[in-house]
């Protein structure tokens, strides 16, 4: 009986826990209101609007914002994603291979490309023709951008696939093998399809990461019809000496990334319910 929660403590002058909570919450609201008032009073709204949200500059971004910049962002991202998906699956299978050198190669690749800044990879790609005389990345600028995103994405995608492949119960392989399927057949028919289903949510997140990283194409020195959103916004901003195009590019990213983020968490939720 002594341990029962007390609604009131007669004979004590201090505030009850509930009262304390109310006071604490009141203070938090006051701080927030004060900060808001400070921002409203001290920010130079006219100047901000002039530099970050100028309507006629924003209008100048159309229609190329969508017809060139967003289109290219999507080309770089999907190209890089397909590259990363295929190479990533291959690396994951190598990582789990019985043949030790395959495991070493996969580990080496994954550690290097996850450990380096993506930007560094893009800078190196620019120097590829110098390092390998006569070598040219196919499909020109698109090829370079896709290669850069794919090389980095493959390392992350490989780890996602590895987790998925390892999450398929051993009994699945045993059942397939005991039906007379070869080890390869069992992987292709039974294990990999289940692994791919399991990795759809993290892979969607990985796609969003690649979409954002496609802004690094900026450092390939692209121009004209090859520009993607970040480069497009940056160029226009320089031209008008105004930050509005960068804001416009930013909003365009969000239009794509936020729905994809929701999709990923919904897919995750569905997976959770099925279990």
Binding site for another protein (CB under 8 A): 169, 171-172, 174-182, 185, 189-190, 193-194, 197, 274
CA nearest to 146, candidates 78, 203, 88, 204: 78
Closest to another protein by CB, 149 vs 186, is 186
HSE-CB at 170 with a 13 A cutoff on CA atoms is 0
CA torsion sign, 74 to 143 to 125 to 117? positive
Phi/psi region, residue 140 (left: phi>0; alpha: psi -120 to 50; beta: rest), is: left
In whole angstroms, what is the distance from residue 243 CA to residue 50 CA?
9
Q: Smallest gap, in angstroms, from Cβ of residue 170 to another protein?
A: 9
Closest to another protein by CB, 13 vs 178, is 178
Closest to another protein by CB, 64 vs 268, is 268
Q: Smallest gap, in angstroms, from Cβ of residue 253 to another protein?
A: 34
Closest to another protein by CB, 100 vs 274, is 274
What torsion, rounded to 10 degrees, do the Cα atoms 218, 222, 225, 231 define?
Answer: 20
Are 74 and 146 a contacting pair, CB within 8 Å? no
Task: Name the token pair of 142.
Answer: 């698109």
Q: Smallest gap, in angstroms, from Cβ of residue 96 to another protein?
A: 19
Q: Smallest gap, in angstroms, from Cβ of residue 191 to another protein?
A: 10
Q: Smallest gap, in angstroms, from Cβ of residue 99 to another protein?
A: 19
Closest to another protein by CB, 198 vs 243, is 198
Are 150 and 87 a contacting pair, CB within 8 Å? yes
User: How would you class 261 by CB atoms within 10 Å of its CB: exposed for 0-12, middle for 13-18, buried for 19 or more?
Assistant: middle
Closest to another protein by CB, 148 vs 164, is 164
- Number of other residues whose CB lies within 10 A of the CB of residue 191: 20
Q: Smallest gap, in angstroms, from Cβ of residue 184 to another protein?
A: 11
Q: Smallest gap, in angstroms, from Cβ of residue 275 to another protein?
A: 9
Closest to another protein by CB, 7 vs 178, is 178
What is the DSSP secondary structure assignment for residue 65, as one 8-state letter? Answer: I
């Amino acid at each position: 009986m002594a341990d029962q929660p007390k609604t009131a403590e007669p004979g004590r002058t201090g505030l009850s826990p509930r009262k304390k909570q109310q006071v604490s919450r009141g203070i938090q609201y006051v701080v927030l209101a004060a900060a808001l008032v400070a921002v409203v009073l001290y920010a130079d709204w006219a100047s901000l609007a002039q530099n970050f949200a100028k309507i006629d500059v924003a209008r100048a971004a159309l229609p190329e914002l969508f017809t060139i910049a967003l289109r290219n962002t999507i080309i770089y991202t999907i190209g890089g994603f397909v590259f990363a998906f295929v190479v990533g699956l291959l690396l994951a299978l190598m990582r789990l291979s019985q043949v030790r050198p395959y495991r070493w190669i996969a580990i080496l690749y994954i550690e290097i490309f996850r450990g380096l800044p993506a930007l560094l990879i893009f800078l190196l790609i620019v120097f590829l023709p110098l390092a390998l005389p006569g070598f040219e990345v196919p499909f020109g600028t698109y090829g370079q951008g896709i290669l850069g995103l794919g090389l980095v994405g493959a390392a992350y995608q490989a780890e996602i696939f590895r987790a998925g492949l390892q999450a398929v119960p051993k009994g699945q392989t045993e059942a397939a093998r005991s039906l007379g399927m070869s080890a390869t057949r069992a992987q292709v028919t039974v294990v990999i399809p289940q692994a791919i289903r399991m990795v759809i949510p993290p892979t969607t997140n990985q796609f969003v990461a690649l979409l954002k990283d496609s802004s690094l194409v900026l450092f390939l020195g692209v121009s004209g019809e090859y520009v993607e959103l970040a480069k497009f916004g940056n160029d226009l901003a320089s031209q008008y000496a105004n930050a509005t195009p960068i804001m416009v590019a930013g909003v365009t990213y969000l239009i794509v990334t936020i729905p994809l983020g929701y999709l990923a968490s919904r897919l995750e939720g569905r997976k959770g319910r099925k279990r």
